[in-house]
């Protein structure tokens, strides 16, 4: 019995030893596997980084065509799916897109971001402030009657549209704001954080896990949630600490920054995104006036080389050259990373000081702000001081942060002390975020001008007052809105956009541009238009249409050989006169170059039905179809996507009244959201 007990004890002890040995073996194997997974992710990231620049990759496809260029890339009808929600006070309409930032590819929800900027005094994570709207010029407010005020305000818009600050100094009242896409690995992998506010969209999931499951499902079925509230945001293993993986969750936001000084329109020039342009059969001027156009910033602010073309509302400048520290670098360098405006950080990893490339002396760069160039103290292996962030990423702007909400990347490194020459080793951790520019938006005085002194309900919880008792913005006392709110932001008198003495109802197309009734403080109905952010303002008498949003987002495909070759070929073909000599055999003749028959451009009437809210749609009808319409045939077109939906419309043409009308809308006699049968020809 005694022996048996001893035997048992010895046996179980050795058994436990085997167990412990096995567990530590499994732990080691597990760590090896996790490390291998990290390396696989690195390989995928490296692959993406060498294939693509940071930028916008794709928007949602809404229609197909007989050629691939009828399909969406980063643009087609509208770049990055930008649109208007000008009935909201500070909402900027932007749909879903796929983007890549430093090799991390992700897909956004329907964005509709707000004009908000990082906090000016607090470093707290994602604390933001509203961007102040420009004031109304005092010379306008001094005028006693409304027509006089309108006339004087027109002068400011005229000065802006001619970029002539001698006529009226428009610069304090037309403030450029740079909105940007920012992404980073965050440390919180448990609770889902809404990265930025939208009045209209929120991520529809309870946790990151829930969101991933929903995205996986829609990817599997190819389906789509009709409200566009899902985003695809990857996760990663950031570090291995004593055999335990530290996970990180990718998240992004869109925020804005008011530029410190004026950005002349002469420093913006359209980019030829030829697929979308040929898909619409537009020449470059026509394309540049559409919402499909992107712009590029000039190499420098230099006013002599940047020529402003007032007829077009953009500039032209010599741009076939290399540049460092261009206008884009200057404006991006005003934007802080996740430490907000108080950011003050220096990166000294590997014992190297990172210097500001813009100054000659050895000033340390504040790496808490976005930059893509920096200087090294010592000459690098290639004998240069200047370095670019990323191995080959033209568009990669980075900023350091100290915020613990951003996942830390750790590194062990060894060196020698500069003075004592003693070797040492240390472990350091840094946190970075990445950004690309999205668009420049010029704010204007209409955003704060309130000539009828309409009551604004600023408390969001009380917005119901405005629409109480079935008020829908109709032009009668019973139906007019009672004051304005953040999502019923109508305060621009309709006369601002009309020629003098024309009654409001005369031109159906103009009134339909969203004239609504709002009660003033004395209960009188005032006819007003929405005053929020627009891509292009409606026609202003004596001024014309002015573009207010200039998309400047870079795209991913220019980061590889194909993209660069195509861009070179496009330049030669577009500029045969000056660059034709690069062709190995010159074309003997080009047939007349005719494109007289551009697509006809239409829009529907405005509807105020809610949901889906104040909006209209546009559509483009090719010339062949216009000829068929003339012969009495009906043709089918799909409208642009606005307020997250489109319509399939059967159009007919009446040869007697010369009117184009909606015959069927989504197969029904009437559009479900209240567009009338009328169609308005824009050009
Ligand atoms: C989804 O987006 C719609 C707007 O299209 C919004 O009204 C709704 O609140 C969002 N749903 C969720 C659950 O976030
Ligand atoms: C471009 O097309 C528009 C009409 O869409 C036309 O008015 C303009 O003259 C054209 N410009 C050139 C340079 O052909
Ligand atoms: C470097 O030059 C800047 C102005 O360009 C100046 O403000 C700064 O004090 C200088 N720093 C040093 C270390 O000389
Ligand atoms: C409009 O709203 C105000 C409160 O903001 C209220 O006092 C007033 O009675 C309302 N007017 C009408 C006509 O409902």
Higher-pLDDT residue of 110, 359: 110
For residue 501, is pLDDT > 50? no
For residue 405, is pLDDT > 50? yes
Predicted local confidence at residue 590, as pLDDT = 56
Using the atom order of ligand 1, give the atom closest to the CA of residue 201. 2
Using the atom order of ligand 1, give the atom closest to the CA of residue 202. 14
Q: How many angstroms from the chain centroid is the CA of residue 639?
A: 22
For residues 351 and 427, membership in a common domain is answered with yes
Cβ 202 under 6 angstroms from ligand 1: yes
For residues 497 and 428, membership in a common domain is answered with no
Assigned domain for 616 exists: yes
Q: Which segments within 490-642 are labelled E, that is strand?
A: 490-493, 516-519, 525-530, 549-551, 600-604, 618-621, 635-638
Alpha carbon of 482 to ligand 4 centroid (Å): 6
Last residue of a domain, one of 376, 404, 432: 432
Predicted local confidence at residue 9, as pLDDT = 53
Closest CA to ligand 4's atom 11:
482
Higher-pLDDT residue of 593, 221: 221
Q: Smallest Cα–Cα separation from 264: which of 339, 181, 130, 159?
A: 159
Q: By three-state DSSP, how is residue 83 classified?
A: strand
For residues 425 and 485, membership in a common domain is answered with no
Using the atom order of ligand 4, give the atom closest to the CA of residue 455. 5
For residues 412 and 496, membership in a common domain is answered with no
Q: Smallest Cα–Cα separation from 84: which of 71, 95, 75?
A: 95
Percentage of residues in the chain having pLDDT higher than 70: 92
Predicted local confidence at residue 96, as pLDDT = 92
Confidence of residue 432 (pLDDT cuts 50, 70, 90): very high
Q: Return the best residue to mutate from 456, 463, 465 for the ligand 4 pocket (most ligand atoms within 8 A of CB).
A: 465
Predicted local confidence at residue 504, as pLDDT = 34
Relative to the alpha carbon of 290, which ligand is closest?
2
List Cβ neighbours of 175 (8 Å cut-off, separation of 6 or more).
134, 258, 259, 442, 443
Using the atom order of ligand 3, give the atom closest to the CA of residue 359. 5
Confidence of residue 679 (pLDDT cuts 50, 70, 90): very high
Assigned domain for 501 exists: yes
* Parallel/antiparallel/unpaired status of strands 97-101 and 104-107: antiparallel
For residue 245, is pLDDT > 70? yes
Assigned domain for 651 exists: yes
Distance CA 214, CA 557 (A): 28
Using the atom order of ligand 4, give the atom closest to the CA of residue 482. 1
For residues 332 and 417, membership in a common domain is answered with yes
Assigned domain for 563 exists: no
Token pair of 635 as six digits? 């043709």
Residue ranges making up the domain that contains 41: 1-51
Q: By three-state DSSP, how is residue 600 classified?
A: strand
- Whether residue 454 contacts residue 528, with contact meaning beta carbons closer than 8 Å, is answered with yes
| Ligand 2 site, CB within 6 A | 283, 285-286, 598
Distance CA 277, CA 76 (A): 8
Last residue of a domain, one of 530, 555, 570: 530
- Whether residue 601 contacts residue 608, with contact meaning beta carbons closer than 8 Å, is answered with no
Predicted local confidence at residue 239, as pLDDT = 85
Look at the chain and count its residues.
Answer: 683
Cβ 201 under 6 angstroms from ligand 1: yes
Q: Return the best residue to mutate from 462, 471, 482 for the ligand 4 pocket (most ligand atoms within 8 A of CB).
A: 482
Q: Phi/psi of residue 511, each to 5°?
A: -60, -35
Distance CA 182, CA 254 (A): 6
Task: Dump pLDDT digits (tens) for 606-619.
Answer: 888 877 878 888 88
For residues 366 and 421, membership in a common domain is answered with yes
Cβ 363 under 6 angstroms from ligand 3: yes
Distance CA 95, CA 109 (A): 7
Higher-pLDDT residue of 342, 347: 342
Alpha carbon of 283 to ligand 2 centroid (Å): 6
For residues 399 and 348, membership in a common domain is answered with yes
Predicted local confidence at residue 500, as pLDDT = 36
For residues 459 and 526, membership in a common domain is answered with yes
Task: Dump pLDDT digits (tens) for 550-573.
Answer: 999 999 999 999 999 999 999 988
Predicted local confidence at residue 381, as pLDDT = 53
Last residue of a domain, one of 51, 68, 90: 51
Closest CA to ligand 4's atom 10:
482
Predicted local confidence at residue 560, as pLDDT = 92
Alpha carbon of 92 to ligand 3 centroid (Å): 39
Relative to the alpha carbon of 610, which ligand is closest?
1
Predicted local confidence at residue 363, as pLDDT = 84
pLDDT (average), residues 110-126: 95
Mean pLDDT of the chain: 87
pLDDT (average), residues 479-508: 73
Alpha carbon of 356 to ligand 3 centroid (Å): 10
For residues 403 and 460, membership in a common domain is answered with no
Q: By three-state DSSP, how is residue 357 classified?
A: coil
Distance CA 591, CA 217 (A): 51
Alpha carbon of 595 to ligand 2 centroid (Å): 9
Q: Residue 252's beta-bridge partner residues?
A: 183
Order the strands of the 91-94 sheet from edge to edge. Answer: 82-83, 91-94, 113-114
Token pair of 438 as six digits? 């999205």
Q: Cβ of 399: how many Cβ atoms within 10 Å? A: 26
pLDDT (average), residues 30-52: 92
Predicted local confidence at residue 498, as pLDDT = 67
| Ligand 4 site, CB within 6 A | 455, 465, 482-483, 519, 523
Closest CA to ligand 3's atom 7:
363
Predicted local confidence at residue 589, as pLDDT = 58
pLDDT (average), residues 389-397: 93
Cβ 361 under 6 angstroms from ligand 3: yes
Predicted local confidence at residue 510, as pLDDT = 35
Predicted local confidence at residue 124, as pLDDT = 95
Closest CA to ligand 3's atom 5:
359
Cβ 360 under 6 angstroms from ligand 3: no
Q: Return the best residue to mutate from 270, 286, 311, 592 for the ligand 2 pocket (most ligand atoms within 8 A of CB).
A: 286
Closest CA to ligand 4's atom 8:
482
Number of domains in the chain: 4
Q: Smallest Cα–Cα separation from 620: which of 294, 279, 289?
A: 279
What is residue 137's DSSP assignment? P
Task: Dump pLDDT digits (tens) for 191-207.
Answer: 777 767 777 777 777 78
Higher-pLDDT residue of 106, 304: 106
Assigned domain for 26 exists: yes
Predicted local confidence at residue 515, as pLDDT = 85
Alpha carbon of 318 to ligand 1 centroid (Å): 45
Q: Smallest Cα–Cα separation from 186: which of 512, 432, 519?
A: 432
For residue 533, is pLDDT > 80? yes
List Cβ neighbours of 246 (8 Å cut-off, separation of 6 or more).
237, 238, 239, 240, 407
Write down the pTM of the prediction.
Answer: 0.85
Cβ 204 under 6 angstroms from ligand 1: yes
Assigned domain for 104 exists: no
Higher-pLDDT residue of 544, 13: 544
For residues 511 and 427, membership in a common domain is answered with no
Assigned domain for 483 exists: yes
Q: Residue 654's beta-bridge partner residues?
A: 659
Predicted local confidence at residue 613, as pLDDT = 79
For residue 150, is pLDDT > 80? yes
Closest CA to ligand 2's atom 6:
286
Per mean pLDDT, which range of 85-99, 275-289, 495-509, 586-600 is the poorest? 495-509
Confidence of residue 325 (pLDDT cuts 50, 70, 90): confident
Assigned domain for 367 exists: yes
Q: Cβ of 410: how many Cβ atoms within 10 Å? A: 13
Task: Dump pLDDT digits (tens) for 152-169.
Answer: 999 999 999 999 999 999
Q: Return the best residue to mutate from 333, 353, 357, 359 for the ligand 3 pocket (most ligand atoms within 8 A of CB).
A: 359
pLDDT (average), residues 530-551: 92
Q: Cβ of 42: how many Cβ atoms within 10 Å? A: 12
For residues 341 and 417, membership in a common domain is answered with yes
For residue 511, is pLDDT > 50? no
Predicted local confidence at residue 227, as pLDDT = 67
Predicted local confidence at residue 509, as pLDDT = 33
For residues 465 and 515, membership in a common domain is answered with yes
Relative to the alpha carbon of 599, which ligand is closest?
2
Closest CA to ligand 1's atom 14:
202
Alpha carbon of 596 to ligand 2 centroid (Å): 8
């Amino acid at each position: 019995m005694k022996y048996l007990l001893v035997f048992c004890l010895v046996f179980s002890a050795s058994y436990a030893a085997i167990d412990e040995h096995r567990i530590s073996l499994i732990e080691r194997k597990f760590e090896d596997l996790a490390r291998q997974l990290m390396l696989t992710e690195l390989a995928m990231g490296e692959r993406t980084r060498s294939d693509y620049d940071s930028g916008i990759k794709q928007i949602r496809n809404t229609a197909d065509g007989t050629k691939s260029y009828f399909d969406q890339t980063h643009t087609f009808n509208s770049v990055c799916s930008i649109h208007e929600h000008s009935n909201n006070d500070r909402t900027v309409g932007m749909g879903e897109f796929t983007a890549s930032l430093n090799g991390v590819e992700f897909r956004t929800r329907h964005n509709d971001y707000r004009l908000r900027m990082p906090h000016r005094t607090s470093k707290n994570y994602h604390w933001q402030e509203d961007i102040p709207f420009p004031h109304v010029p005092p010379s306008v407010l001094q005028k006693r009657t409304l027509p006089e005020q309108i006339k004087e305000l027109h002068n400011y818009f005229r000065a802006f549209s001619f970029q002539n600050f001698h006529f009226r100094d428009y610069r304090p009242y037309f403030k450029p704001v740079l909105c940007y896409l920012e992404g980073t690995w965050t440390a919180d992998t448990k609770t889902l954080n809404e990265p930025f506010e939208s009045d209209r969209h929120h991520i529809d999931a309870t946790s990151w896990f829930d969101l991933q499951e929903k995205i996986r499902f829609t990817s599997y079925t190819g389906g789509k949630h009709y409200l566009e509230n899902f985003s695809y945001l990857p996760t990663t293993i950031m570090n291995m600490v004593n055999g335990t993986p530290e996970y990180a969750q990718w998240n992004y936001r869109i925020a804005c920054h008011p530029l410190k000084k004026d950005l002349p329109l002469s420093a913006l020039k359209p980019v030829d995104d030829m697929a979308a342009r040929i898909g619409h059969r537009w020449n470059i001027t026509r394309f540049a006036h559409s919402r499909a156009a992107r712009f590029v910033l000039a190499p420098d602010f230099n006013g002599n080389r940047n020529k402003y073309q007032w007829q077009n509302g953009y500039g032209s400048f010599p741009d076939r050259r290399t540049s460092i520290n261009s206008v884009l670098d200057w404006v991006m360098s005003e934007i802080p990373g996740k430490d907000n405006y108080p950011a003050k950080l220096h990166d000294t990893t590997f014992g190297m000081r990172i210097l500001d490339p813009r100054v000659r002396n050895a000033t340390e760069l504040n790496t808490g702000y976005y930059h893509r160039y920096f200087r090294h103290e010592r000459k690098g292996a290639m004998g240069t001081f200047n370095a670019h962030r990323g191995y080959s990423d033209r568009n990669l702007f980075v900023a350091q942060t100290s915020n613990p909400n951003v996942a830390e990347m750790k590194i062990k490194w060894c060196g020698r002390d500069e003075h004592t020459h003693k070797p040492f080793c240390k472990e350091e951790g840094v946190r970075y975020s990445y950004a690309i520019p999205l668009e420049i938006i010029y704010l204007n005085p209409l955003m704060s001008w309130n000539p009828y002194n309409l009551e604004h309900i600023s408390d969001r919880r009380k917005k119901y007052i405005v629409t109480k008792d079935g008020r829908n913005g109709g032009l009668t006392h019973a139906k007019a809105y009672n004051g304005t709110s953040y999502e019923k932001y109508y305060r621009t008198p309709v006369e601002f956009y009309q020629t003098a003495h024309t009654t409001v109802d005369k031109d159906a197309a103009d009134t339909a541009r969203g004239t609504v009734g709002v009660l003033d403080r004395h209960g009188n109905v005032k006819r007003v238009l929405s005053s929020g952010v627009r891509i292009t303002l409606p026609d202003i008498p004596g001024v014309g249409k002015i573009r207010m949003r200039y998309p400047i987002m870079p795209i991913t495909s220019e980061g590889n050989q194909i993209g660069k070759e195509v861009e070179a070929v496009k330049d030669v073909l577009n500029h045969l006169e000056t660059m034709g000599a690069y062709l190995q055999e010159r074309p003997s003749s080009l047939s007349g170059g005719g494109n007289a028959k551009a697509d006809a451009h239409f829009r529907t009437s405005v509807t105020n039905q809610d949901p889906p809210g104040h909006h209209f749609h546009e559509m483009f009808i090719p010339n062949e179809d216009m000829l068929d319409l003339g012969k009495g045939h009906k043709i089918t077109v799909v409208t642009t996507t606005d307020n997250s939906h489109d319509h399939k419309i059967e159009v007919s043409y009446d040869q007697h009244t010369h009117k184009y009308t909606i015959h069927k809308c989504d197969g029904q006699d009437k559009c479900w959201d209240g567009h009338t049968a009328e169609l308005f020809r824009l050009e």
